[in-house]
């Protein structure tokens, strides 16, 4: 994790989550996030979901997925899952009761009071 922080990216966390069939969600700075940003994320989600659906239709049109298509579909699906998870967490952070982020070093999303 120190290497990731030093590099200023989430590549390691993304790779670990993807390999574990999970999703890494980077939390935004909540003081800089509001309804406008949430609506932007929803619009972005619709765009990403549309690209996923288009790729799905193209890839399955012949009735068989090759290994490259399977890998690309998983990557595109991961992106959709990550965006939905981020919207859910940000919504709870903005509007939920009792949200309190934990210390950065714990790596946990947050806790309910």
Residue 113 has which token pair?
């009071």
Task: Name the token pair of 27.
Answer: 């939390």
Does residue 70 fall inside a structural domain?
yes
pLDDT tens for each residue of 84-109? 988 988 888 888 876 565 544 444 45
DSSP 8-class letter at 106: G
pLDDT of residue 34: 75
pLDDT tens-digit readout, 50-65:
999 999 999 999 999 9
Q: Is residue 45 part of a domain?
A: yes
Residue-range definition of the domain harbouring residue 57: 33-112
Total domains present in the chain? 1
- 43-69 as b/e, with b when 16 or more CB fall inside 10 Å? eebeebbeebeebeeebeeeeeeeeeb
Tokens encoding 101: 């982020």
Is position 16 within any domain?
A: no
- The answer to whether residue 6 is domain-embedded is no
Does the global pTM surpass 0.85? no
What local confidence, expressed as pLDDT, does residue 59 receive?
A: 95
For residue 113, name the pLDDT band (cuts at 50, 70, 90). Answer: very low
């Amino acid at each position: 994790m120190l290497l990731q922080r030093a590099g200023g990216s989430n590549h390691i966390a993304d790779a670990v989550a993807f390999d574990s069939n999970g999703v890494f969600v980077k939390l935004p700075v909540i003081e800089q996030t509001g309804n406008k940003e949430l609506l932007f994320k929803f619009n972005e989600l619709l765009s990403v979901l549309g690209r996923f659906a288009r790729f799905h239709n193209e890839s399955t049109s012949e009735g068989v997925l090759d290994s490259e298509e399977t890998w690309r579909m998983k990557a595109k699906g991961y992106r959709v899952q990550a965006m939905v998870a981020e919207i859910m967490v940000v919504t709870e952070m903005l509007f939920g009761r009792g949200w309190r982020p934990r210390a950065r070093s714990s790596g946990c999303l947050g806790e309910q009071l």
